[in-house]
Amino acid sequence: MEEQLMPYLRVGAICDLVLEEKTGVLSVIRLIDTLEVTAEGMEVPVELPPGQSTITAVMSWVGGLGTYEAKVKIITPTGDTIETMTFPFHLDSLIRSQNIIVKVTIPVQKDGVYWIEFLLGDEVRSRVPWRVIYKRIKHPRPKS
């Protein structure tokens, strides 16, 4: 049986964009932790209108020996969960890393904190908050 040495999560972040060079070097562009949704007009909904937002999650695993599976899980403010597909990878050297870049479209049904979890197998190795803020700007009706 193959020796397993669990890797650690070198990077677990959400951002707008990740550039990955042929050499595996990552450039993480615009780390994010908040989405502001603004409704403006004479009639503004009290609650956040349903929509969706796409984020990029980046994971970089290093220091392990063996074959693993990683994924991202989102927990919404209502407690619903969304999981990405599983990304299998193999590390054959303690100094080799594995980068995983995942675009995730999140249904935004409610404002509040959405937790983005980074999993190795079924174990949460890190989590970051992503807050959705709903701003209402109500304009007065024009006088006639």
Domains of the chain by residue range: 8-137
**Chain segment 15-47, per-residue pLDDT in tens:** 999 999 998 899 999 999 999 999 998 889 999
Question: What does pTM read for this prediction?
Answer: 0.88
Q: What's the whole-number mean pLDDT along residues 44-65?
A: 94
Q: What's the whole-number mean pLDDT along residues 53-66?
A: 95
CA gap 81, 19 in Å, rounded: 28
Region of 121 please: left (phi>0), alpha (psi -120 to 50) or beta: left
60 neighbors 26 (Cβ within 8 angstroms): yes
CATH number of 8-137: 2.60.40.2950
* pLDDT exceeds cutoff 80 at 144: no
* pLDDT exceeds cutoff 60 at 3: no
Cβ neighbours of residue 17 under 8 Å, at least 6 residues apart?
Answer: 28, 29, 30, 56
